Structure 1
Amino acid sequence: MTVTEYGKPLQPTPTAIPGLVVWDLPVHGDSRGWFKENWQREKMTAAGLPDFGPVQNNVSFNDAVGTTRGIHAEPWDKWVSVATGRVFGAWVDLREGPTFGTVFTTELDPSKAIFVPRGVGNSYQTLEPDTAYSYLVNDHWSAEAKYTFLNLADETAAIAWPIPLDRAELSAKDLAHPRLAEVRPVPAKKILVIGANGQLGRALQAEYGDDGTVEYTDRATLDITSPDFETARHWRDYDVIINAAAYTAVDRAETPAGRVDAWAANVTGVAALSRVATANGITLVHVSSDYVFDGTQEGAYSEDAAICPLGVYGQTKAAGDALVAGVPRHYVVRTSWVIGEGGNFVRTMASLAERGIDPKVVADQVGRLTFTDEIARGIRHLLTVGAPYGTYNLTGSGEAASWADIARDVYRLTGHDADRVSPVSTDEYFASANGPISPRPRNSVLDLAKIRATGFEPQPVDVGLERYIGSLDA
């Protein structure tokens, strides 16, 4: 075996197949032989290799020159290298999309490796005897795993095998694989929306429409608090999980039973989601709340402001946020005063106005409304542009207002006298309440500079409110 070159720097070379990248590996040799770091997570991810989380290492030893294997597209990513010998490698993109059928070939020796993304067909032919072909994968082998195959002799791919296939060593199975025209492309990994029947879930369904890569579940079909949640799906089939499920009954959370339910949904379930996302390289999108703050700060809260929840609901949301922050690929989308389908403050005020009721409304809590279609649009934006992982505030834009201000706007927009709304303090409003009341942050204004820096411009609250009132009329 001859190493082509000693001492090359660690360096990637992209190919015409998206995600398929050839890597030069530093090999150090002397009279005793040679040494290389075949997989070094810290150095290689810093140089641009995806942090793909390998869990299994396989070695294929090949006695004879001309041993030919493939073309197999497995449901996992691979880091392919050669320990001894030399191979001619051929890769064909078998994924859905414009590069389906694209071919790339090169030789691999111990000084080269290649990262092969899920869905790209992998094959090789040995050029030296006693060749040891090694590959790391990020899922455990399973007899139930679904492969996609392409015939080694496919005329469309037209791979120029150094040793003609009629003189090569190959299996009967590989000879029988289908031609490219008969291959069903490997679908993209899916986006999973959890809590699809809630306010945000319904907005996400409207945002993504009939996109076949998005799967929707509700509590009846996938319960994040269930003991078997972590084995409920083949999680490597998913690229993104959007958690639109949450316990949001802030006052009921202050009761003994509500406290249990809030912690189960907002913490225990989120912990399971975080473990699944971390173990399977999934991007986890989680929706947070202004209730993680105590509301005593002057001015808008930035994403890195000190967490200080006042009540049980806020405590569970803060705990869930901390769990999600430990997931390597995560977005925590922090929002406030959410309005969507179903019962909410705006609908209640519109109904009171129509029924001739003159309400007393809290005037010492300030913030901005956030419409669920804006949250859905913002989540899709972060995923589409590949924004840096982390926490992002997302609310409507414009001037902050109190609940009383918003109530007056609702009365005005529905054709009623805004002066029918009487402002009161929080303490006055809840003075006659029966049962526990969750403390509310008096300042819920969130700073929007970070998400704006990604190219997303939040909709002004007054525009969103007018549109929402119009939808109620319709």
Structure 2
Amino acid sequence: MSIAFGKSLSVRETPIPGLIVVDLPVHGDARGWFKENWQREKMTAGAVGLPDFGPVQNNISFNDAVGTTRGIHAEPWDKYVSVATGRIFGAWVDLREGESFGTVFTTELDPSTAIFVPRGVGNSYQTLEPDTAYAYLVNDHWSPDVTYTFLNLADETAAIEWPIPLAEVEISAKDKNHPRLADVVPMPPRKILVTGANGQLGRALREEFGDHPWIEYATRADLDLTSPDLDAARRWRDYGTIINAAAYTKVDAAETPDGRVEAWAANVTAVAALARIATANGITLVHISSDYVFDGCKSEAYTTEDAVSPLGVYGQTKAAGDAIVSAVPRHHIFRTSWVIGDGANFVRTMAALADRGVNPRVVDDQVGRLTFTRDIAATIRAVLESGAPSGVHNVSGDGEPVTWFDIARDVFELTGHDPTRVTGVSTDVYFADAAGPVAPRPRNSVLALSDDDLVVTSDHRERLRSYLSVSGSPA
């Protein structure tokens, strides 16, 4: 057997997205040879940049005879295949849903070559030398309950040019009877779970992502994130992303004994459970943060690099959630302010008061910008689809910062009412006669917006205009 010695560790792209050929350094002398078959630190860094796919099982396939042919099988996990002895011809066909469905790639593999096969790409191997063995690492345990996809080795559309004709080789009866490409059911993507599906952001996420078999929208009735049995509530390896839109947001009630317990349970305990599950299963965790993680004392807009300094219980729980999620290998934290969507919110309240003839007092010493849930949802989708690295993203409306008093006057004017009916008062005066506990509010809630094209921004006052109908009800 001839082995290519002296290669540098490098990768080669293929026509199939995510299918990567790896050239391995093999060191040999009169005694034999040695290679590092999988070396996580080297292979997932720098110019090599293989996915850090977290293998959990190592399998070996040994084949006695030349021409032994297996496949074409697409499994619901990632796979790293390398040859230990001998030589194989490999054929891969993209069987995932999408534009690359049906794309074919073939090459030979020997001990100096490996290949990373992403989930849903069909793989097949034909031995070219006797006593050939190849090993493969996978990042999930085999289970009869998961979805597999298969393609016939002789499919005319794929038209794979096998070195040894299929009529002359050893093939299992099962592999001979796999469907042609026209009859293949594509492998769906890993699932997306959206929690808090009935909230303002949850409804916007449903509108943004749509209804598909691989997207699950869950309410608390469907999935209790504080349950001690959460780890067993789903087959979590089937999920690629969790978007946690569930949260406790009653900032004043959080200052009460019962509210404090509920806030910590929803915003910290539940988040910690999701973080544990995401870390164990290679899931990307999307977390929604808040301007309340800051004390509002900064004179400028808050950046993604600013240290948190929450004032009240709600802000403290959100900051704790941020810290937990930041430790998840694959995560995105979206920090928002003054959220407006389909549900009870400040804009709806002001529109209703205007219609009822009520002249409200509104605080005029808190500064920020509205953030519309449609923009948050669109940003989350853009960031996820881009494959952007983990991190914190500020998401808010653009434009000149204003006060709640300014927004209230805008709502009155846009719904055909006299804006002078709104009176501005300080936060201290507004809450002076409050019957219960009042949470401290950040006086500055302005978030700094970067030039990142992935963050969907628009002037928040223009978005307010489009949010309101002529009659004063949100569109």
Q: TM-score range by the shorter chain?
A: over 0.9
Q: Secondary structure of the equivalent of 1:472?
A: coil
Partners of 2:29 and 2:383 in 1: how far apart?
50
Q: Which residue of 2 aligns with 1:419?
A: 420
* Superposition deviation, residue 211 in structure 1: 5.0
Checking the alignment, whether the CA contact within 8 Å between 2:85 and 2:133 is kept in structure 1 is yes
Structure 2 counterpart of 1:2, one-letter code: S
- For residues 36-75 of structure 1, the C-alpha deviation after alignment (integer angstroms, 9 at most, x for no partner) is 1100111111112111111111111122222211111111
Partners of 1:45 and 1:194 in 2: how far apart?
31
The range that moved more, 434-443 or 167-176, is 167-176
Q: Which residue of 1 aligns with 2:343?
A: 342
Partners of 1:124 and 1:455 in 2: how far apart?
40
TM-score between the two structures when normalised by the length of structure 2: 0.96
- For residues 64-111 of structure 1, the C-alpha deviation after alignment (integer angstroms, 9 at most, x for no partner) is 222211111111010000111111111111112222222211111100
Partners of 1:384 and 1:146 in 2: how far apart?
23
* Superposition deviation, residue 22 in structure 1: 0.9
Where do residues 250-399 of structure 1 align in structure 2 (5 Å cutoff)? 250-399=251-400
Q: Secondary structure of the equivalent of 1:202?
A: helix
Partners of 1:160 and 1:456 in 2: how far apart?
46
* Superposition deviation, residue 404 in structure 1: 1.4
Percent of aligned pairs sharing the same letter: 71
Checking the alignment, whether the CA contact within 8 Å between 2:376 and 2:456 is kept in structure 1 is no
Partners of 1:202 and 1:391 in 2: how far apart?
23
* Superposition deviation, residue 118 in structure 1: 0.8
Partners of 1:102 and 1:209 in 2: how far apart?
27
Q: Which residue of 1 aligns with 2:168?
A: 167
TM-score between the two structures when normalised by the length of structure 1: 0.96
Q: Which residue of 2 aligns with 1:466?
A: 465
Checking the alignment, whether the CA contact within 8 Å between 1:66 and 1:125 is kept in structure 2 is yes
* Superposition deviation, residue 192 in structure 1: 1.9
Partners of 2:157 and 2:243 in 1: how far apart?
39
Partners of 1:248 and 1:156 in 2: how far apart?
54
Checking the alignment, whether the CA contact within 8 Å between 1:387 and 1:454 is kept in structure 2 is no
Partners of 2:209 and 2:456 in 1: how far apart?
19
Where do residues 103-122 of structure 1 align in structure 2 (5 Å cutoff)? 103-122=104-123
Checking the alignment, whether the CA contact within 8 Å between 2:375 and 2:456 is kept in structure 1 is no
Partners of 1:152 and 1:195 in 2: how far apart?
45
Q: Which residue of 2 aligns with 1:410?
A: 411
Which consecutive unaligned segments of at least 5 residues does structure 2 have? Answer: none
Which consecutive unaligned segments of at least 5 residues does structure 1 have? Answer: none
Q: Secondary structure of the equivalent of 2:315?
A: helix
Structure 2 counterpart of 1:142, one-letter code: S
Partners of 1:381 and 1:177 in 2: how far apart?
37
Structure 1 pair 391–473 and aligned structure 2 pair: CA distance change class (3 A)? closer
Q: Which residue of 2 aligns with 1:447?
A: 448
Where do residues 142-221 of structure 1 align in structure 2 (5 Å cutoff)? 142-211=143-212, 213-221=214-222
Q: Secondary structure of the equivalent of 1:123?
A: strand
Checking the alignment, whether the CA contact within 8 Å between 1:78 and 1:136 is kept in structure 2 is yes
* Matched pairs, number: 471
Checking the alignment, whether the CA contact within 8 Å between 2:395 and 2:456 is kept in structure 1 is no
The range that moved more, 186-195 or 362-371, is 186-195
Partners of 1:142 and 1:214 in 2: how far apart?
22
* Superposition deviation, residue 341 in structure 1: 1.7
The range that moved more, 95-104 or 313-322, is 95-104
CA RMSD in angstroms, aligned pairs only: 1.6
Q: Secondary structure of the equivalent of 2:406?
A: helix
Partners of 1:19 and 1:244 in 2: how far apart?
29
Q: Secondary structure of the equivalent of 1:408?
A: helix
Q: Secondary structure of the equivalent of 2:351?
A: helix
Q: Which residue of 2 aligns with 1:239?
A: 240
Q: Which residue of 1 aligns with 2:96?
A: 95
Structure 2 counterpart of 1:152, one-letter code: L
